[in-house]
C-alpha cells in the first residue's frame, strides 16, 4: 500500500474545502527546516546506560544514545518487544499538551522561519495536522497514542526518503518495526518510568517530523529532480539523531542489517 501519510494527503486534497490547508502543508515542509535531531536528550547526558531487560535491545556503548539503541536492535533482529511491553509505551493524549508540543517542535527546529512556523500552527489549529497523521497511522494499524508507533513510522519514512523510495508498507510490516522500536526504547534507562506528558512530547515530535518528511517525498514524486536533495537532507537529519539509514534494509519482517 502506498505510504499512509501520502494516502492521507491525497484524501485531503480531494476534499474540496481542505485543499488550501493540504497545499499549505507541503509549503510548510519547504519553508520550515525540519531535519534536525528529533531526540537529543532521551538518555541522560546523551548516553544510554548498560541496563537491559528481557525483550529489549542491547544497550548503547559509545554515547550515541537512542540512534545506537535502534541500530543495536536492528543488528539483533530477533530482539522484539512483546505486545504487553509495547503497550507500556502508550499514553492518554492531551490536546493541550499537543498544542504545547507543536510550539516546542517549532522552537527546537533549526533554520525555522516565521512563515513556516505560522503555517504549521495553522494546520494544527484547524485540526488537519494530526487529522492527517491519525488517518495515516490507522491505515498501518498504528496509533498516535503510543511512543513505539511514532518511532516506527518515523523510521520507515526516514528510511524511504533516504533511499529515494516511495513508502509502501503493510500493517504487518509496520507492527514488526513497532516491536523493534519498543525493544530499543525499553532498553534505555528511564523510559519505562516516563510520564504520559514526556511520552507524548517525544511521540508528537516524531509524528510531526514524519508528516513533514512525507511532504518532501510527495514533492519529490511529483518532481524527480528533487529526490537527491530530499535524500541528503533526511539522511543528515537522521544521522543527527544517531541513525544510519544506510546500514539498514527494510523487509516485510521489519528492519535488518544491510
Do 231 and 164 form a contact (C-beta atoms < 8 A)? yes
Cell, residue 119 = 503555517
Position of cell 504487518?
A: 172
DSSP notation for 33-51: ---S-S-S-SSGGG---S-
Q: How far is CA 136 from the centre of its chain?
A: 12
Taking each helix axis from N to C end, the angle separating 147-162 and 227-240, rounded to the nearest 10 degrees, works out to 140
Spell out the domain ranges in the chain.
4-257
Say what the pLDDT of residue 3 is.
53
Find, among 252, 210, 254, 220, the residue nearest to 8 by Cα. Answer: 210
Q: How many CA atoms lie within 13 A of 231 on its CB side?
A: 12
Task: Give this prediction's pTM.
Answer: 0.78
Cell of residue 14, nine digits? 480531494
Which cell goes with 147? 511512543
d(CA 143, CA 145): 6
What string of pLDDT tens digits covers the 258 residues of the chain? 445 554 444 333 333 333 333 344 444 444 444 455 554 344 333 333 333 344 444 333 333 456 767 766 666 665 677 888 889 999 999 999 999 999 998 888 766 677 778 888 999 999 999 999 999 999 999 999 999 999 999 999 999 999 998 888 888 999 999 998 888 888 777 787 889 999 999 999 999 999 988 888 888 888 888 889 889 888 888 887 778 888 888 998 889 888
Model pLDDT, residue 100? 95
Residue with cell 537527491: 228
Amino acid at each position: 500500500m502506498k505510504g499512509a501519510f501520502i494516502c492521507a494527503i491525497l484524501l485531503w486534497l480531494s476534499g474540496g474545502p481542505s485543499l488550501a490547508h493540504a497545499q499549505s502543508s507541503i509549503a510548510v515542509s519547504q519553508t520550515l527546516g525540519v531535519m534536525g535531531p528529533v531526540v537529543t536528550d532521551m538518555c541522560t547526558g546523551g548516553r544510554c546506560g548498560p541496563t537491559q531487560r528481557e525483550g529489549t535491545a542491547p544497550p548503547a556503548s559509545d554515547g550515541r544514545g537512542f540512534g545506537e539503541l535502534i541500530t543495536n536492535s536492528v543488528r539483533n533482529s530477533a530482539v522484539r518487544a512483546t505486545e504487553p511491553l509495547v503497550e507500556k509505551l502508550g499514553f492518554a493524549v492531551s490536546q493541550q499538551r499537543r498544542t504545547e508540543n507543536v510550539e516546542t517542535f517549532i522552537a527546537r527546529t533549526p533554520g525555522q522561519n516565521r512563515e513556516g512556523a505560522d503555517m504549521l500552527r495553522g494546520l494544527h489549529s484547524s485540526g488537519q495536522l494530526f487529522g492527517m497523521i491519525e488517518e495515516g497511522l490507522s491505515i498501518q494499524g498504528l496509533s498516535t497514542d503510543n511512543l513505539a508507533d511514532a518511532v516506527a513510522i518515523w523510521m520507515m519514512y526516514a528510511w524511504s526518503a533516504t533511499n529515494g523510495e516511495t513508502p509502501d508498507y503493510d500493517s504487518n510490516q509496520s507492527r514488526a518495526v513497532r516491536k523493534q522500536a519498543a525493544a530499543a526504547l525499553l532498553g534505555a534507562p528511564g523510559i519505562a518510568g516516563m510520564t504520559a506528558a514526556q511520552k507524548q512530547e517525544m511521540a508528537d515530535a516524531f509524528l510531526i517530523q514524519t508528516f513533514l518528511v512525507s511532504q518532501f517525498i510527495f514533492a519529490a514524486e511529483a518532481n524527480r529532480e528533487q529526490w537527491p536533495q530530499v535524500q541528503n537532507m533526511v539522511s543528515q537529519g537522521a544521522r543527527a539523531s544517531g541513525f544510519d539509514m544506510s546500514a539498514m534494509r527494510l523487509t516485510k519482517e521489519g528492519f535488518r542489517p544491510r
